[in-house]
């Protein structure tokens, strides 16, 4: 994994997450359930991609905007799982972290940056992307990006950024 945030996550949770990172596309919903998080597709306010909240009963719930593309929903889910893994005390203090379409929230910019980096590792695991990239052979750059984005069910823009960190 490439994000330095991994060292800040509880070892038991890292073990749970790692069980999902060898397959693609990564089963983020199953990962969330294993971590004890409920995930719901919801109609959210305009411009809101998702949020994570701690309910009164102590249960963490992620809501993802049902009106966004599947690729966007997957990245948002990875981003919110990352907040759970990295910023639970912040969620508890604020009641929730709500992310707009630019993945900005009431949390600090640093926390959003951390969640974005870890989310990229969750949805596009570095070693799995590298391995799949080697299988591609001599495809043109645009073809590789299109193919890899489809395989990992992420946007072309997200895959382009990920590939730039690998090669």
**Cα 135 to the center of its chain, rounded Å:** 24
On whether residue 11 sits in a domain, the answer given is yes
| CATH code for the domain of 103 | 1.10.10
Task: Classify residue 94 by burial, with Cβ atoms within 10 Å: 0-12, 13-18, 19+.
Answer: middle
Per residue in 129-147, pLDDT (tens digit) is 999 988 887 666 888 899 9
- Expressed as residue numbers, the domain containing 86 is 4-124
On whether residue 166 sits in a domain, the answer given is no
pLDDT of 162 higher than 70 = yes
The structural domain count of the chain equals 1
On whether residue 164 sits in a domain, the answer given is no
Measured CA to CA, the distance from residue 121 to residue 154 in angstroms comes to: 12
Answer whether 0.85 is exceeded by the pTM.
yes
Per residue in 2-26, pLDDT (tens digit) is 568 888 999 999 999 999 998 889 9
């Amino acid at each position: 994994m490439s994000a330095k945030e991994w060292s800040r996550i509880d070892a038991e949770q890292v073990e749970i997450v790692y069980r999902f990172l060898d397959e693609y596309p990564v089963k983020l919903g199953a990962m969330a359930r294993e971590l004890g998080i409920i995930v719901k597709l919801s109609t959210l306010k305009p411009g809101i991609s998702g949020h994570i909240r701690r309910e009164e009963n102590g249960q963490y719930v992620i809501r993802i905007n049902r009106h966004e593309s599947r690729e966007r929903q997957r990245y948002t889910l990875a981003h919110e799982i990352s907040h759970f893994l990295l910023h639970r005390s912040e969620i508890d203090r604020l009641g929730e972290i709500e992310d707009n379409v630019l993945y900005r929230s009431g949390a600090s910019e640093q926390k959003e940056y951390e969640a974005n980096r870890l989310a990229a590792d969750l949805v596009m695991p570095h070693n799995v992307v590298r391995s799949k990239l080697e299988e591609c052979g001599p495809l043109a750059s645009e073809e590789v990006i299109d193919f890899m984005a489809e395989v990992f069910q992420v946007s072309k823009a997200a895959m382009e950024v990920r590939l730039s960190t690998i090669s």
